[in-house]
Structure 1
């Protein structure tokens, strides 16, 4: 990437935050922005909840302007497990519904630090379990129509939910879409095994320090961060996982670890499609609908959804590099 392009992109860098001190301010800002756009999106969704014992987990269901598919996208939002909610992600979920033609169900899981690991993950797991075990009750024709989707920390949660469903003996989703997910525990440029952490950990949309701050709030116990339900790349067994679409952003410090997780899934026998969005920053799924990065990503998502989930096809190769035998890039 040339210096001029890098300088221009630097203008879009997020303000540097001390996440551990400022997370409450970030939440208030997100809620304020959502309130400003709320009337535009309110007609397209309805509010419901999943009841787990005495605990209610809010779920917001978005209807597309034109329903073109039977799939229901069960969505876990990003925000470092600390910020973000169904309010702040309403514009992104409305866009997701319209551009895929699918119903989108957004889960309002509990956030750290008030509710550290595994509280938010258990919320996501319980909603997924209920929907997959009794889809008709949720208004879904078949469990095969349920697709797990998550971005950033939400991609981490989607991956972890898939692992939990298999480990606890429940029916799993047949497909998952992981958007620039967190899959590893180490984001220190001095020790991380991933080049993207060193190349992009101080620039643009998300920094290494911010990710480490999020981890401090989500998983205060450093030893527990190597738990595979925190860092899916640490899982000793990745067999039996869903057909996966792995979308990464070229200029994101999480790029390499996301693709490494896809490689690990493929080596364990899962069918994986990769797509790296060139020139994209972390969090592009929340950009306006005219954004090139967002449009490109949804073209790939739609192609993935149109594939027969039961087809016996080859596994995709790592984007941006040479393909191994028997692998191909996402359509």
Structure 2
């Protein structure tokens, strides 16, 4: 029987009590409140992060939308490989600004040029807008770096947490058949890879562990607004071939998404794809946004990501 990290257990007890009080006072879930909640939580729990030598914003033009990005170059006099990052948040919340401290840590740990994408979010921009923006950035990142006259190695890896992991794994799946998407490695941090919510851990961990089954269902209902086939949209249920990139997947024991993450790893291995699976049994979903509570776990994850990307 796995055990929740004691520090997380104590924090969750207070968090769930405060949430129940809000609901009793008439709280209603909206995009406004959800976005503010993640931004405030991350601001409280994650310090600003290391200084990175060059940090600036740029635009990546797309067919239907020009995507803002933030570029983090740890050594702007030296060409480094590139890591495009997609933030989490159920396709509704999160932003480049909210994830700034996490991207700084990724850039420092990986010694990669990190490009963080401000893709469109639901409910204003439902599926597939965010995925289209992710593809725009993955394909147009070189032009963005050239526009800033930054040195880089033309080697692309992708990373994302939660819904950002859904975008990452979706691009990797599409890249099996798209020569314009040459992805070296992917880093999936407690990724959402199955929009059907049909795995046992969705119910097992669906209440009391920060991310709830009801909240995930609400996110997905806002994302899929036109009766799309959610099974067909789920990268877990796509074909897996050896053309998929080498993968590091980080999962958490008390995450509603845990079982789909394990299944994704199993399918990678069955397709003879190189995969590393870092499972933290006592963690909850989004623990990188709770760094003040579990600093050792977060430090280990960044270290493993750096080692994986540079092996």
**RMSD over equivalenced CA pairs, Å:** 3.4
When the two structures are superposed, what TM-score results if normalisation uses the length of structure 1? 0.78
- The aligned runs of 1:125-274 (5 Å cut-off) are 125-131=135-141, 139=150, 141-144=152-155, 146-187=156-197, 192=198, 194-227=199-232, 230-274=233-277
For residues 160 and 5 of structure 2, the distance between their equivalents in structure 1, rounded to whole angstroms, comes to 33
Show the counterpart of 1:23.
Answer: 31
Note the C-alpha offset of 1:231. Answer: 0.9
| Residues 132, 173 of structure 1: 8 Å contact kept | no
Show the counterpart of 1:297.
Answer: 301
Change (3 A) 1:136 1:153: same
After superposition, the C-alpha distances for 1:290-320 in whole angstroms (9 at most, x for unaligned) are 712211212221221232xxxxxxxxxxxxx
- Which range is displaced more, 194-203 or 169-178? 194-203
Unaligned residue ranges in structure 2 (runs of 5+): none
Note the C-alpha offset of 1:206. Answer: 0.5
For residues 41 and 7 of structure 1, the distance between their equivalents in structure 2, rounded to whole angstroms, comes to 25
For residues 276 and 105 of structure 2, the distance between their equivalents in structure 1, rounded to whole angstroms, comes to 22
| Residues 156, 183 of structure 1: 8 Å contact kept | yes
- The aligned runs of 1:45-124 (5 Å cut-off) are 45-53=55-63, 55-64=65-74, 70-124=80-134
After superposition, the C-alpha distances for 1:200-249 in whole angstroms (9 at most, x for unaligned) are 1112120111111111000134542112xx31111034441101111111
Note the C-alpha offset of 1:72. Answer: 2.2
Show the counterpart of 2:13.
Answer: 11
When the two structures are superposed, what TM-score results if normalisation uses the length of structure 2? 0.83
Unaligned residue ranges in structure 1 (runs of 5+): 308-331
Note the C-alpha offset of 1:127. Answer: 0.8
- Which range is displaced more, 81-90 or 46-55? 46-55
Change (3 A) 1:37 1:61: farther
| Residues 206, 282 of structure 1: 8 Å contact kept | yes
| Residues 198, 253 of structure 1: 8 Å contact kept | yes
The partner residue of 2:285 within 282, 285, 288 is 282
Taking CA–CA contacts closer than 8 Å with sequence separation of 6 or more, which of the two structures ends up with the larger relative contact order?
2
Note the C-alpha offset of 1:39. Answer: 11
- Secondary structure, aligned partner of 2:209: coil
| Residues 173, 242 of structure 1: 8 Å contact kept | yes
For residues 265 and 5 of structure 2, the distance between their equivalents in structure 1, rounded to whole angstroms, comes to 32
* Corresponding residue pairs, total: 299
| Residues 65, 133 of structure 2: 8 Å contact kept | no
Note the C-alpha offset of 1:280. Answer: 1.2
Note the C-alpha offset of 1:162. Answer: 1.4
Change (3 A) 1:4 1:55: closer
For residues 180 and 132 of structure 2, the distance between their equivalents in structure 1, rounded to whole angstroms, comes to 14
For residues 40 and 210 of structure 2, the distance between their equivalents in structure 1, rounded to whole angstroms, comes to 20
